[in-house]
Amino acid sequence: MYSPKIKEELVRELYLLKIKSKTPMTKIVNEAVTEYLRRKSNERKRHLGYHT
């Protein structure tokens, strides 16, 4: 499976967020990537003339 290298400063920020929110880092990252992909999909649809 593909495992991209995450910048150390981002890992540090994720760790601090994990401690503060008491949420696993994997859950935080999955939520962030899901939201990013949703926004990109909506941008692409708007660009192509679809309504969201």
pLDDT tens by residue, 10-41: 999 999 999 999 999 999 999 999 999 999 99
Closest to 25 (Cα-Cα) out of 35, 12, 37:
12
DSSP state of 22: T
Task: Decide if pLDDT at 52 tops 70.
Answer: no
- Percentages helix, strand, coil for the chain (3-state, rounded to 5) are 75, 0, 25
Question: What pLDDT is stored for residue 28 in this prediction?
Answer: 97
- pTM of the full structure: 0.75
Question: What pLDDT is stored for residue 11 in this prediction?
Answer: 95
| Stronger pLDDT, 12 or 51, i.e. the higher one | 12
| Full residue range of the structural domain in which residue 16 is found | 8-48
Distance of alpha carbon 40 from alpha carbon 46, whole angstroms:
10
**Sequence-distant (≥ 6) Cβ neighbours of residue 42 within 8 angstroms:** 52
Task: Identify whether 3 is part of a domain.
Answer: no
**Count: domains in the chain:** 1
